[in-house]
Structure 1
């Protein structure tokens, strides 16, 4: 019995890393501002979850098997959040992990793009409520 070889590459099975304690999760694309334009940082899932000291953590994990972290910050009252365009929410913060190796502690405008304007409205409202 001879098996025919096919030129098809093996299918990659991506298992999303789950954040079980998240009270809000949404697919998104993250961009950061470099010079005068936004550069893509990656596609992932945004999670909002309570941290130990009653603050809210914003975590964006890449949609890969490793689920590496694109952004991990605590929401604070000083966080600048705004709606931008049809389906974007802009957050100005000191990103972790840093996007600018030369100035790792300087605030950077980050753009979180979700699928619909309703999703963006909901995310913006949640971020405004939870950062207090």
Structure 2
């Protein structure tokens, strides 16, 4: 088949429709993992602090979910077909939460899943970057309200 394409290209200098179909890359179909019981969802990029700089953990969707005892779960799922969990924590009044930069919210928590074996039980600054400063203001407000109620 490819020999036919090459021969056709050499002889005529033109591409046939079959040639063009063969060159088109496959379209990736992405099925987002839905969190049905989330009361707030927002696309974000997650970073963690290591050696005085922020390293990217991944791109995904942040979900806030109400669970038993009026507690709130913060869950960030990667934008992949598997929807890997990038961060899964309970909001608690002891978790510092601040606005940082134009469109970031920073929390300091013990990340779950752990970043590595050494930092399993130590708090790490996590930076949540959203699209706009309005989104960051809203996220900061909701996290602050929900953690204060625990």
Q: Normalising TM by the smaller chain, what interval? A: over 0.9
Give the drift of 1:104.
0.6
Aligned length: 130
Aligned position for 2:18: 4
Q: Distance in 1 between matches of 2:113 and 2:27?
A: 30
Q: Which portions of structure 1, spanning 4 or more consecutive aligned residues, are displaced by more than 6 angstroms? A: none
Structure 2 portions without partners, runs of 5+: 1-16
Q: Map 1:30-69 to 2 at 5 A.
A: 30-69=46-85
RMSD of aligned alpha carbons: 1.1
TM (norm. structure 2) is: 0.84
Deviation, structure 1 residue 4: 2.5
- TM-score, length-scaled by structure 1: 0.95
Q: Which structure carries more relative contact order (alpha carbon 8 Å, separation 6+)?
A: 1
Q: Tell me what 2:5 maps to.
A: none
